[in-house]
Amino acid sequence: MMHLLIIDALNLIRRIHAVQAGQSLTPEQAVIATRATLINTTRKLLEQATPTHAIAVFDAEVDGWRKARLPSYKEGRTPMPAELRAGLASLQDAFWELSVDSLLSETDEADDLVATLARKTAQHGAPVTIISTDKGFCQLLCPEIRIRDYFNRRWLDQPFVASQFGVEPTQLVDYWALTGVAGSGIKGVPGIGPKSASALIGEHGSLTAILASQSDDRLVKKVREHEAEARLACELVRLCDDIELGFSLRDLRLPG
């Protein structure tokens, strides 16, 4: 059976580079060390997951549709070090050396590309393993899709979501619509924190149900007062899974 391994490439590379840059190395040496570590890490991932197909997905260097909807989207994030940006082509080649294809769209964010690849594969009943520390992918969790946090050596699975957020994976988009996502500059509903959000989702089940409720509860009224913000946040945190990829999943098959 097909088993697709999806590597969130820059998520992996930037964390490896941060470790190397903390050593007594020149910027150029840090990139060289990052490349060597990336090859070793990818080899381990392939050995551990034993996939039949694999791909490394890179972020586009463009402002996508989320930035158009929310100009402050991802503002304030630490920019990629210049030497690492200059070495990206070499790092993409590192994946090629291990027969792992790379995907870089001119228009789409890596998160949406990963979601599209994962859902398309899962729809055929085939397993998917996503390598990333990004909890945003937890909204994709289902029997066919799992997420591995390589650096913390843990699975971002249903028990993890329950302990971290107090909701089901299918409710995460609505949860983040209430709390916002600070790291992406998405506000959510003012005054609704994680505990309040999980309580509201636990009682009502979804953002739609909360907005439809006639309850006089203070938190419910707050959500209704900020419906526009909540709906925008919901739109922004939901991953797109219907991008036209322009290639077949069969093209990602590993040799042997």
Structure tokens at 162: 């329950």
CATH second-level architecture of 167-237?
Orthogonal Bundle (1.10)
Show the tokens assigned to 168: 């089901």
Fold for 4-156, please state it.
Answer: Rossmann fold (3.40.50)
> At 64, is the pLDDT very low, low, confident or very high (cuts 50, 70, 90)?
confident
For 246: left if phi > 0, alpha if psi spans -120 to 50, otherwise beta; the answer is: left
Q: Does residue 175 contact residue 198 with C-beta atoms inside 8 Å?
A: yes
Q: Please report, as a single letter, which amino acid is at residue 127.
A: P
> By C-alpha distance, which of 189, 158, 157 is closest to 174?
189
Query: Which residue's entry shows tokens 């309040």?
Result: 196
Calpha distance 45→96 (Å, rounded): 15
Q: pLDDT exceeding 90 applies to what percent of the chain?
A: 92
List all residues 6 or more positions away from 225 whose beta carbon is below 8 Å from its beta carbon: none
pLDDT per residue as tens digits for the range 76-117: 888 899 999 999 999 999 999 999 999 988 889 999 999 999
Read off the pLDDT of residues 172-225 as tens digits, 9 standing for 90 and up: 999 999 999 999 999 999 999 999 999 999 999 999 999 999 999 999 999 999
Q: What is the pLDDT of residues 140-183, one digit of tens each?
A: 999 999 999 999 999 999 999 999 999 999 999 999 999 999 99
**Measured torsion, CA atoms of residues 214, 216, 218, 224, in degrees rounded to the nearest 10:** 30
In sequence order, the β-bridge partners of residue 103 are: 57
pLDDT for position 62: 74
pTM of the model: 0.96
Residues of the chain with CATH 1.10.150.20: 167-237
Q: Which of 101, 94, 21 is nearest to 55 (CA)?
A: 101
Positive/negative CA dihedral, 200, 201, 204, 206:
positive
